Amino acid sequence: MSTTLITGGRVITATRDSVEDILIEDGRIARLGDLGDFPADRVVDASGKLVIPGGIDPHTHMDTPAGDTFISDDFYTGTVAAAVGGTTTIIDFPIQEKGDDPRVSLEEWFGKSEGKAAIDWAFHQIIADLPPAYLPSLGALIDEGVSSFKLFMAYPNAWMLDDGAIFSALQWTSDNGGLIMLHCENGPAIEVLIQQAIAAGHTEPRFHAATRPSIAEGEATSRAIALAEIARVPVYVVHMSAAEALSAVGLARGRGLPVYAETCPQYLLLSEDKLASPGFQGAKYVCSPPLRDPSHHDKLWEGLAAGNLQVVSTDHAPFHYKDQKQMGRGDFTKIPNGMPGVEWRVSLLYNFGVRENRISLNRWVEITSTNAAKLFGIYPQKGEIAPGSDGDVVIFDPDRPQTLSAETQMTNCDYNPYEGWTLQGAPDTVLVRGEPVVSDGQFVGRAGMGRFIKRRPAETLATDLIS
């Protein structure tokens, strides 16, 4: 039996803040308290540091096809980046091909991830085609531990489902369990705006944002909530960027509806003026929904503090600038959508959230780890520091500065959206089930250390409104 003792750190969970030692035995937290002299195979001194549950990023895309190219991180490079950033579990997305049973893509994603991931991982299934014959497959996916499904109200030429199919899926989860996650943008209206922009010769990256107005996100979010209310079922809104969408969630939650939402660091910290960067540099910041004007940032921060937003994920979707983003020169619709983020989420939220007094330390842990574990059926195995939980622990040094740069990052991408930003605070040591994956800020793990985590359907959601 291997044992690790973490001594003298300030343990922060969603609800606690106290100096405690932590004993990890055989990958699980065994004891907490004053354990200073307890014999252990490995002792890690965490004095002066914050000790938090490993981060959970419930929205990443590794090794994923996108038009004629692929996301530049695979399950090794992407999970190394996650680990050095203090994330010990990611939830990624197999994408169903139209005409295929969704389980076909799940098998494919097992092939991409097994033996490669350096941290634990789980899957949500993207459903891009839902004739009634495929509905029972959702049950088979839940049996395999894939208990949430992402559906799109956008991308009419690729993955969008109409309202009828979305409503059928919501009704199915009402009867059978599982959680529907929705990409909320009004795809058909956006498509009209895109065609008009291209016809007018407006082809530069900034027109990506101009053709995806925030009201189109707000409308789709309201519609998603209405469909879920009719189906009497919880719903989770992914990668929220717009104040209009947040108001819709706030109104619904005010009425007691089990509506949940995540945002991402780019929507809190970067604005649409980046898309008008000189030359073609704006392509680096093309993602959907798009970056918004800065007036949305404060609203999203307030939503995080007040509990109308429960989770910060990243929508990690990196593409190289040099040979991938270039595919959209002369036509912004061909720029692969997405940007990297998994490596900096926990630190960005500490620097701009905790240090700038927008959120408390407990809330930082809750929105970067605990709430995702609860919403996606892996709590208290993940997202908690308590006896019985996995020994996924981050020792975070609040005094360690880090400067973000493509030169030094582990993410396989030739740019960093936060290039040159200096943050105060960084992960020092990261353990996955008691095994070190990061020591003194450096990756020390190996490919294949991660395990696939089977998730339960989050069965209590209808009555337990997580904030």
Question: Which residue ranges make up the site for ligand URP (CB under 6 A)?
Answer: 61, 183, 239, 287-288, 315, 317, 337-338
d(CA 250, CA 238): 15
Is residue 183 part of the contact set for Zn ion (CB under 5 A)? yes
Is residue 384 part of the contact set for Zn ion (CB under 5 A)? no
Least distance from ligand URP to the Cβ atom of residue 188, Å = 16
Instruction: Collect all residues with Cβ–Cβ distance below 8 Å to 74 and sequence separation of at least 6.
Output: 62, 63, 112, 116, 412
Nearer to ligand URP, 158 or 386 (CB): 158
Strands 55-60 and 87-92 turn out to be parallel
Residue 225 backbone dihedrals phi, psi, to 5 degrees: -65, -40
Least distance from ligand URP to the Cβ atom of residue 418, Å = 17
Q: Is the torsion defined by CA of 75, 81, 83, 87 positive or negative?
A: negative
d(CA 455, CA 262): 19
Is residue 374 part of the contact set for Zn ion (CB under 5 A)? no
Nearer to Zn ion, 51 or 224 (CB): 224
Nearer to ligand URP, 338 or 434 (CB): 338
Least distance from ligand URP to the Cβ atom of residue 107, Å = 21
Greatest distance between any 2 Cα atoms in the chain = 73
Among 125-133, 182-190, 355-363, 385-393, the segment contacting Zn ion (CB under 5 A):
182-190
Tell which residue, 404, 467, 455, 450, has the closest CA to residue 79: 450
Q: Is the peptide bond before 380 cis (omega within 30 degrees of 0)?
A: yes
H helix count then E strand count, the chain? 13, 20
Nearer to Zn ion, 204 or 315 (CB): 315
Question: Residue 287: which of Zn ion, ligand URP, none does it interact with, CB under 5 to 8 A by kind?
Answer: ligand URP
Least distance from Zn ion to the Cβ atom of residue 98, Å = 17
d(CA 367, CA 369): 6
Least distance from ligand URP to the Cβ atom of residue 154, Å = 7
Least distance from ligand URP to the Cβ atom of residue 308, Å = 21
Report 221-280 residues binding Zn ion (CB under 5 A).
none
Nearer to ligand URP, 171 or 186 (CB): 186
Question: Residue 308: which of Zn ion, ligand URP, none does it interact with, CB under 5 to 8 A by kind?
Answer: none
Nearer to ligand URP, 328 or 338 (CB): 338
Q: Which of residues 315, 384, 392, 397 is near Zn ion by CB under 5 A?
A: 315
d(CA 322, CA 299): 34
Residue with smallest beta-carbon separation from ligand URP: 337
Tell which residue, 334, 237, 238, has the closest CA to residue 283: 334
d(CA 154, CA 221): 11
Least distance from ligand URP to the Cβ atom of residue 366, Å = 23
Q: 295-306 vs 243-254: helix axis angle to the nearest 10? A: 30
Nearer to ligand URP, 205 or 434 (CB): 205
d(CA 83, CA 42): 20
Nearer to Zn ion, 7 or 241 (CB): 241
Least distance from Zn ion to the Cβ atom of residue 11, Å = 32
Among 17-25, 66-74, 155-163, 183-191, the segment contacting Zn ion (CB under 5 A):
183-191
* Coarse DSSP helix, strand, coil percentages of the chain, rounded to the nearest 5 percent: 35, 25, 45
Among 181-189, 193-201, 350-358, 455-463, the segment contacting Zn ion (CB under 5 A):
181-189
Q: Is the torsion defined by CA of 373, 376, 381, 386 positive or negative?
A: positive
d(CA 101, CA 83): 33
Question: Residue 337: which of ligand URP, Zn ion, none does it interact with, CB under 5 to 8 A by kind?
Answer: ligand URP
Residues binding Zn ion (CB under 5 A): 183, 315
